[in-house]
Amino acid sequence: MSSGISRADVEHLAGLARIELSEAELDRLAADLPAILEHVAVVQQAAGDDVPAMSHPLPVDNVFRADEVRPSLTPDQALAGAPESEQQRFVVPKILGED
Amino acid sequence: MAQTDRDQTDLTRLSADEAARALAAGETSSVELTRALLDRIDAVDTEIHAFLHVDPEGALAAARESDERRSAGEATSYLSGVPIAVKDVFATIGQPTTCGSRILEGWMPPYDATVVTRLRAAGLPILGKTNMDEFAMGSSTEHSAYGPTRNPWDTDRIPGGSGGGSAAAVAAFEAPLALGTDTGGSIRQPGAVTGTVGVKPTYGGVSRYGLVAMASSLDQAGPVTRTVLDAALLHEVIAGHDPMDSTSIDAPVPAVVAAARRADVKGLKIGLVRELGGSAEFGGGFQPGVLARFDEAVQLLTDAGAEVVEISCPSFVHGMAAYYLVMPSEASSNLARFDAMRYGLRVAPEGVVDPSAEQVMASSRDAGFGDEVKRRIILGTYALSSGYYDAYYGSAQKVRTLIARDFAAAFEQVDLLVSPTSPVTAWPLGDKLDDPMAMYLQDVATIPANLAGVPGLSLPVGLAPAADAASDTAADAASGAADQLPVGLQFLAPATADDRLYNAGAALERLLEEKWGGPLLAQAPALEVGAR
């Protein structure tokens, strides 16, 4: 697979990642990323189809804890770093469109 | 006239083990020791910039408590009263935790990381938080939003990264102990280029709870020290099962301190990794001086009775490529938590009336993240996106399997593997900042251990000329000023056999110090004590 990644692709990815990049940043990333992708693309030839994927160094599956009440953060502690809060809640900008 | 740091000896120069023994013998107090280190920070950190935050009140309060417990005859841990510096990636109550990022500027965590809880329980005063590449992304600490840390061996050079602050603090005698994290070499490579000891424990050996995640399947916390024994002592304090981290290993901690005290390589079988030995065949890039010091150290091991054989791990050559897909993929997911809603920076977009949460999120992340973080988030988003997932992330995961198999096959033949830690000595600040690939290549030898989850220890094995020495001035060459930078060697062991690293590391350290007539850091140039 070619590592063709255009400036428009970078802009689309930035949208997916929720980062409002400036024009200069888009230019720079559109220059950097193809070079990096060209280097990392060797992984595509490195392993055969019979090689299983490894997502993690430890063979752990689900780990459960006992379902019991334990001490936790107070509302004040949990809200201490909030940009804005009110009545024990995080205040956030609108999340739904007008229409 | 400025004094040099040679005037201020004793307490700041003690290893953690020496300090612990002095405290136990009543020869000094934790308050006295902590004050000496705070004074040292005050004197040299304007130049070094190892710390993002110093906490004199908190450290002295913990020191007083340790002294009181000791004088009351209460049981104290071995390291009780010995101060430590903590990388700014660990959550700490009462001290800001920024991860070197603007997006977390001033953030005060409402909880402690488990390792920090354990430090406090063991009575170690926390001096402050150390500088790092933003979210641990980098090999030079130049990607910190708060300015770079300088290498105590040559303050125009990088201290390695991402944990350059922790390594420089220890190398500059601002702290005998520090905590770091190693995702692709961020403990070991700074250790190599600053002449200090750094250990990446087995994945799962030390809790990640409260460690701000970059790549969850690779991140591991570990010790940063000046001696192998000190690293073992700190390892024993921070390691062990934690119910708050589901990837934490539920088994006894390897006997690392006993191993460091044993320090005997006689009869050990050690494999020299062909692919990490700098052969031009494999991409090379290893500096001649690094290879020379490495070869001499390996010879010392052989002379001391170790059997050194060459081992091939063919898939290691693809480690860097796999790492620079797995790491950004996991990072792009982990850093989604910085959404400007619950904590951290919130920046409203300019010229937008009544912006949506999504717009605020996007402008906050643009303002709060630096270039390298953005680069990796975009790279990871690409590698995980529909249509590219199998080709990039999926293929990288298969390479990970091959690398783990290479380790397994190697450890059927040998007890330990060995290689240079970093292909080069410390480079000048700014040198690789505009070339991401050049920076990424510095991790070539350290990455395989993270991908497979095995432990690694780096220790100093001597000094070598700078890679750029030829381009330095004739005056530098004549004075030898450009010829004196630390070189590191790393041991790698099978998962959960961390004790083997400490045994071999302490043995090699002893052989080298016999040769040098003392620790390598005794040869470091004196730092000018800043005017106050």
Taken in order of first residue, the domains within chain B and their CATH numbers are: 9-318+398-469+478-523 (3.90.1300.10)
**Is the CB of A40 inside 8 Å of chain B's CB atoms?**
yes
pLDDT recorded at residue B23: 97
Q: Do A39 and B495 touch (CB under 8 A)?
A: no
End-to-end CA distance of chain B: 12
Q: For tokens 């949208």, name the residue.
A: A15
The confidence score (pLDDT) of residue B441 equals 86
pLDDT at B378 over 50: yes
Minimum-distance CB partner of A82 among B342, B397, B400? B342
Given an 8 Å threshold on Cβ–Cβ distance, is A17 in contact with B381? yes
Q: How far apart are CA B193 and CA B159, in angstroms?
A: 6
* Residue B298, H or E segment: helix B288-303
Contact A51 B402 (CB under 8 A): yes
CB contact under 8 A, A58 and B249: yes
- 3 state DSSP class of B272: strand
- The question of ipTM being above 0.90 is answered as yes
> Which of B349, B354, B378 is the closest to A29 by Cβ?
B378
For an interface test with A, the pick among B359, B400, B447, B454 (most A C-beta atoms closer than 10 Å) comes out as B400
pLDDT at A40: 94
Q: Which among A9, A20, A56 has the least Cβ separation from residue B362? A: A20
Whether B216 shows a pLDDT value over 50: the answer reads yes
Decide if B404 touches A, using CB distance below 8 A. yes
Residues in chain A within 8 Å Cβ distance of B366:
19-22, 25
Say if the Cβ atoms of B110 and A73 lie within 8 Å.
yes
Separation between Cα atoms, residue B36 and residue B32, nearest integer Å: 6
**Per-residue pLDDT, A98:** 62
pLDDT tens profile B384-436: 998 899 999 999 999 999 999 999 999 999 999 999 999 999 999 999 998 88
The predicted pLDDT at position B279 comes to 66
Inform me whether the C-beta atom of residue A91 falls under 8 Å from chain B C-beta atoms. no
CB atoms within 10 A of CB B530: 13
In the predicted structure, residue B480 carries a pLDDT above the cut 70: no
Residue B401 pairs in a beta bridge with: none
Identify the structural domains of chain A with CATH numbers, from first to last: 1-47 (1.10.20.60)
Tell me the backbone φ, ψ of residue B530, rounded to 5 degrees.
Answer: -65, 150
B388 and A9 within 8 Å at the Cβ level: the answer is no
The model carries a pTM of 0.95
